[in-house]
Amino acid sequence: MRRVHGGIGLLIAASAFFARAQQTPAAAWQAYADEVTRSPGILRFYTLLDDALRQPDRAGSDAPLTYRPHQGAPLATEPGRIAGLTAALLDSDCFEAAPVLFPSNAFTVTLWVRPLGTGTQTGNGGSVNGMLACSGSGYTDGWRLAVYDWKTRLPAFEIGRDKGSISIRANAPLSAGFWNHLAASWDGARMRLYVNGTLSAEKPYDGVLVPPKASLKLGFAGYGVGSLRLAVDECALFDRALPAATLASLSLNGAPLNDALARQVRTLQEAALNPERAADFSRAAREIASDARTPAAWRHWAALTAARRHADTAACVALVDDLSAPAHLRGMAVETLTQAVRKGAELPSRVLVKLPEFLELDADDQRHFAMALAGAHAREGNVDAASAVFDQLLSFRDMPPTDAAEVRQRCARILRQAGRLDAARVHYAAVRDDPRLPAYVRAIAALGLAQTWRQDESLDQAEAAFRDAAGVTNAPPHLIDEARACAEACANLRAGRPARDPEAGRRRLPALPTPALAFYVSPKGHDQGAGSIEQPFATLERARDAIRAQRTNGVLPRGGVTVYLRGGTYPVTNTFTLTEIDSGSSGAPVVYRAWRDERPVFDGGFRVRRLRAVRDKAVLARLPAEARGKVRVTDLKAQGYPSYSPQQSFGYGINNKTMRELFEDGQPLTVARWPNGGTVMTGTVLDPTNRVFSFTSERLARWSQAKDVMANGYWYHLWAVCAVPVGVDTAAGTLTLKERPGGYGVRADHPFYVFNLLEEIDRPGEWYMDRETGKLYVWPTRHPWFSTLVLSRWDKPFIQADQVRDVVFQGLPFEYGQQHGLVLNACVNATVAGCVIRRLGGSAIIAPNSANLKLYGNRLHTLGHTGIHVGGGNRRNLTSGQVQIENNEIHHFGRCSRTYNPAVLLEGCGARVAHNHFHHAPSSAMRIEGNDHLIEFNDVHHVVQESDDQGGIDMWGNPSYRGVVIRFNRWRDIGGGEHVPCGQAGIRFDDAISGLLVYANLFERTSNGHFGGVQIHGGHNNIIDNNLFVDCRYGVSFSPWGQKRWEEFLARDTVKRLMFTDVNVRQPPYSRRYPELADLGTRADLNSVWRNVFVNAEEPTFRKPKGTDTWDNLTAAAVPAPDTGAASVFRALPLDEIGTYDDPMRASDE
C-alpha cells in the first residue's frame, strides 16, 4: 500500500496480497495447457512465463509473440500465477504478433491478466483507460478488449465495423491486484463476454467480421486507448465460439466437467443476465454449490456467481476468508466488496477493517475507506469510534485543505444523524471559515450549519445562520438564493405559516377585464345577424370585421372586446387570419373565448361513412389472407373528400409539416406498414448516390403492384428519422429512396419500416388510401356502426396571427387538422389559455419572435410534430422575451416526425417553462436554444422512447447558450427503443453546451445505454447540484473532449460565427452576465457535481474526466430521510409543487 498523508497508513494496515501466496502448481497448469493445445479450433496459444522477448505459439503456428519495448525499456516480470514461473509486466510496452484471422467467421479470445493500476499512456481527450488485447484497431476492423474506467474496471469487448465498433461492457469488474480470466466470444450472431468464467455481457450482432488491418497486441496498442499497468501470462485464440461451460472450466484451470455438471453450468450461464430466469439461475447455482460430489473449485465458482448476482456481501466475505478457494475467485470477492463500498454499500465495520489488507489504495481510496469505516461505526451505534477515525484523519498535517474539508463534511453528517448537533456545527464552521477553500465549499458548509439549527427546531438561530450563509463572499448565485429561501421558510414557520407557499412558484393569469363590447358566434348563427346573443354571427371572420368597425381612430374602448363562441362544431374551411389592425391594447384586449361552460370545436376533419366489405377480386388478391372479410372500403370521392395529393416526405431535415391521418373514436390509426412493430435493417448500400440498398425479404414479392410506397427510417444517424417515397424492385431485390432523407444518405444496417401499402393491412387499426380511385381501405378495431371514423382534411393552420398585440384565445378546442393549430407570428402580449389542440399532423402552437406571450393551462396532444415552438427576446443584448409557458399538459407529440419535435422547442432569451406535464414521445420533451431560460416544476416522463443520443431536455452545439436554469423538475422513466448504442438521458448537454445549472431535480430511471440521468458531452462550467437520482444506472455521465478537441472546436468558423457574430461573448452584456467566459478557451471538461444523492446507482459518475469538481455527493441504497443530515447538506425537493395545478382556466379534454 502506498502511504500518504503522513501516518494515514497506520489507520488501515496492509499486508501482502494473498493472491501471490496461493499459486497454481506447475504440474496442474501443464496438464491444463496440454489440454488447451489439443482443443478443437485452437489457432494461437501464448504463455508469458519467463523473461524471453520472443514467445512461441504453443498451438504450433509460425507467428511468435515479440516484445515491443517503450523507449528501449527492458521487459519487466514478477512472480506469476504459476508456481515457480513469472508473468510479464506491461504498461506503455506490449507484445506483438501477426494478425489473427478466423476462417469460420466466429472466434473466442481468452486472457489471464492482473490489473495493477492506471498506465502512463492516456486515451483520447486525456481519458484514463487501457487496452488489454487487440487484433487490428478493434474500432473499424478486428476486435479489442479494453478497460475504459480504472475506478470501475469493467472490461469491454468490441468488434470493429466500418461505421465504428459495436461493443459490450461487462457487468463484473476485473479485480485489481488479482489474476482474472477474461474471455470474449462471437458466434456470428451474438457477442459474449465472460469474467472469471461467468457470462457478464452479451449482445446480438450478425454483421460481418472486418479482417484486422494491424497486428495482434497484448498491452498498449494506441487507437485512442491508453495503457494500464498489468501483468499478463496467457492468451489463447480459437476459431470458434467456445461453449459457456467450457470457458468456465478454462477459468478454473481445466476443472473437471462431466455432462451433468455441464448442463447445470450452462443453465446458470444462460440465466445469468436474464431477470426473468432468476429462479433458474438460483436453482442451478445452489445445486452446484451444495453438491459435495462436485469439485471444490466449481462449488466456489457457483457460490461467488450467486453472491455477485444477489449482492450478498456476507457470502463474499465468507469466500475471502476461505483459504481453500481459488485465488482469483477470492480476488473477485474482494473486488465485489470494494466496488460495493465505492458505491455506498453499507458493510459492517469488521469487514471494512479487514478489506484493505488485500488492496493497494491510493490517497483518495484510503480516505474513502476510512470514512466508510467511520460510517459503519456510526450505523452500529458507535459514534465515538466513528469520531475517532475522523479525528485521526484530521490529525495529519499534510492533508490538503479540500481533503480535510471533505472529512469534516462527512463527520458533520454522521454527528447530525446521531443528534450531536453542537459537534457538527464545529466542523461546518471550520470549513465555512477556511479562506483557502473555494467559495462554494464554504457556502455549502454555511448552509449545513444553518440546517443543524433548523434540525434542532431553533428557528431564530436557523434564520440568522441562513442569512449569514447568503453572505458568503463569491458564493454561486443559486446557493445565495437557497440560503435566502431557507431563511424565509424559517421566518414563515416562526410566524405560524407553512414553510413554503406553493403559490409563490405559480403565475396564474389575471382575470380579464369586463369587456366594453361583446359579440357572439354560433354554428347556428348567420353572418347577416347583429352578433348579439340572440342573433349571433356564424363565423369568426364576421366577428373580426365587426370589431374593426368599432374602432375609434384605431383604438378600442377600455375593457376591449370579447367574442363569445357558443358550443357546437365549426367545420374549418379557411384559416382565420388576424393582422396588426386586429390588435387590442393594454387594458383593452381582443378576446376570443368559449361562452361560459359551452364547448365550441373547430373541426378540420372529414367524417368517413358508407363502409362496406371489400368484394373487388383484384383488391382481395392483394390483401393478406387474414384481412379478407375484415377490411372495409368506402368511396371518398363520392362523399366529397377534397384532396388526393400524395403524402410528402416528412421528418428530420424536411420542411413539410402536413400529414393526412385517419382517426377512429379519436385515436389515430396506422397507415398499413411492415413490419407491424419495430423495424428491419437496411442491407448493403449498392448505390450511395441514388440511395439504393439491397433488401432480399420474401415480402418484396407482395409489393409488386403497390403504389406510393413510403419508408420511414433512421437512415444514417440513430437520432435522425424521416419518411421518404421508396421504389421497389422485386426482381433485383432492392429498395430505392426516391429523395435524400433529411440531408444525409443511407447506411447499411440501419432500422426502417415500409408503409402505405394496401398489401400490408393485416391487423385491426391499419388503413390505406388509393389516391387514384379515391377508395379508403380500413380494418377497423370496432364495427363501423359503433365507432366514428374521421379523416383529417384541413391542410393549413386553423389560426394565423401576424404582429397582433393584446389578443387572447381562451377555452377553444381545435382538432383533426393535417397541419398546425395556431401560428402567432411576432405577436406581443398574446395569450392562449385553456385551449385543447389535438389530433393534428403538424404542431399545436407556433409563435416565433414573441414578446410577453402567455401559454397557460392548455391541453395539447396527439400531434404529428411539435407541441409548442416559440421564440422571444433578443439574444444579442440578452433582453428577455417574457415568454411564459405554464400549467400545460402536452403528450403524444412527435408521432409522425419522430425526432427533434419536442413538447416545447424554445428559442431566444429569458423564457419560463413551469408546472407543465410532458409525456409519451419518441424523442425529447424539450429542446432549449438560447439564454437565461428558467425550466422549473415540470413533470416529464415516458419520453425519448425511441431515438438514440437524446435527452428529456436536449441542448446542442452553441457554447454561447448560457444562464439556463433547470430546477425543481421531476424526470422519470426516460429511454427505450431497440437501437440505442449511445444512450438516453433525463437531461443532455451535447457538443459544448456550457455554463448551465441543474439544481434540485428528481431523476427516476432516466439513465439508458451509456448516458446518465444527466449527460454532458464536451461542455464545461455546468453545475449539477442538489439533485436526487433514483434507480439510474449512472447519475451523471460524461463524454469528455480534452483540451485539444475543445480548442479545435472553438476555432471552427461556424462556432466563431455563433460566438462573435450572432452575439459577441467578449463584450458586454455577455462578459458581465457570464464572467466565466473569460476562461472560455481553458478548463475543458471541467464541470461541477455537488450535493447530489445517488440511490441504487451502478456508478454515480460515469466516464468522469480528471478535474471534475465533485463535492459532498452521497451514494445510498435507499432514499435518505429528509432533514436529518443523512443526505448531508441536501435541500429537500419540493415534490408536491411539481407538475400542473388546479385552475378554472385549465383545459379539460372532454
Cβ-based neighbours of 263, under 8 Å, separated by 6 or more: none
C-alpha distances out from residue 618 to 755, 756, 758, 877, Å = 20, 18, 12, 66
Residue 358 pLDDT grade (very low, low, confident, very high; cuts 50, 70, 90)? low
Per residue in 255-266, pLDDT (tens digit) is: 888 989 999 999
Per residue in 663-705, pLDDT (tens digit) is: 999 999 999 999 999 999 999 999 999 999 999 888 899 999 9
Cis peptide before 502 (omega within 30 of 0): no
Cβ-based neighbours of 26, under 8 Å, separated by 6 or more: 82, 83, 84, 85
Cis peptide before 675 (omega within 30 of 0): yes
pLDDT higher than threshold 70 for residue 420: yes
Q: Look over the chain and give the mean of its residue pLDDT values, rounded to a whole number.
A: 93
pLDDT of residue 13: 30
pLDDT of residue 360: 62
| Cell digits of residue 827 | 405577436
Does residue 736 contact residue 729 with C-beta atoms inside 8 Å?
yes
Per residue in 173-210, pLDDT (tens digit) is: 999 889 999 999 999 999 999 999 999 999 999 998 99
Per DSSP, helices labelled H in 1063-1111 are 1070-1073
Per DSSP, helices labelled H in 322-458 are 327-342, 349-354, 363-379, 383-394, 401-417, 421-432, 439-455
Residue 335 pLDDT grade (very low, low, confident, very high; cuts 50, 70, 90)? confident
Cβ-based neighbours of 334, under 8 Å, separated by 6 or more: 175, 178, 316, 320, 355, 358, 359
Per residue in 578-597, pLDDT (tens digit) is: 999 999 999 999 999 999 99
pLDDT of residue 344: 67
pLDDT higher than threshold 60 for residue 1143: yes
Pick the most confident of 12-26, 144-158, 860-874. Answer: 860-874
- Closest Cα to residue 147, out of 139, 160, 157, 137? 157
pLDDT higher than threshold 70 for residue 901: yes
Residue 1100 pLDDT grade (very low, low, confident, very high; cuts 50, 70, 90)? very high
Cβ-based neighbours of 190, under 8 Å, separated by 6 or more: 202, 203, 204, 205
Mean pLDDT of 716-738: 95
Residue 16 pLDDT grade (very low, low, confident, very high; cuts 50, 70, 90)? very low
Mean pLDDT of 833-858: 98
pLDDT of residue 728: 95
Give the per-residue SS3 of 484-549.
Answer: HHHHHHHHHHHCCCCCCCHHHHCCCCCCCCCCCEEEEECCCCCCCCCCCCCCCECCHHHHHHHHHH
Distance CA 924, CA 952 (A): 5
pLDDT higher than threshold 60 for residue 833: yes
What is the percentage of the chain residues whose pLDDT exceeds 90? 82
pLDDT of residue 359: 61
Distance CA 294, CA 302 (A): 11
Element holding 571 (H helix, E strand): strand 568-571
Mean pLDDT check: name the lowest of 268-272, 567-571, 600-604, 673-677.
268-272
pLDDT higher than threshold 60 for residue 19: no
Distance CA 184, CA 145 (A): 8
What is the percentage of the chain residues whose pLDDT exceeds 70? 97
pLDDT of residue 20: 43
Distance CA 992, CA 970 (A): 25
Distance CA 558, CA 157 (A): 73
Mean pLDDT of 268-294: 88
pLDDT higher than threshold 70 for residue 722: yes
pLDDT higher than threshold 60 for residue 21: no
Distance CA 225, CA 981 (A): 19
C-alpha distances out from residue 788 to 606, 617, 780, 818, 837, Å = 10, 27, 10, 18, 19
| Cell digits of residue 532 | 348579439
Per residue in 954-1013, pLDDT (tens digit) is: 999 999 999 999 999 999 999 999 899 999 999 999 999 999 999 999 999 999 999 999
pLDDT higher than threshold 80 for residue 366: no
Better pLDDT: 369 or 434:
434
Q: φ, ψ for residue 910 (rounded to 5)?
A: 75, 30
Q: Which domains does the chain have, with CATH numbers?
A: 24-254 (2.60.120.200), 507-604+794-919 (2.160.20), 607-791 (no CATH), 938-1133 (no CATH)
Alpha carbon 492 to its chain centroid, in Å, reads 39
Does residue 239 contact residue 43 with C-beta atoms inside 8 Å?
yes
Mean pLDDT of 17-35: 76
Per residue in 136-178, pLDDT (tens digit) is: 999 999 999 999 988 889 999 999 998 889 999 999 999 988 9
pLDDT higher than threshold 70 for residue 1069: yes
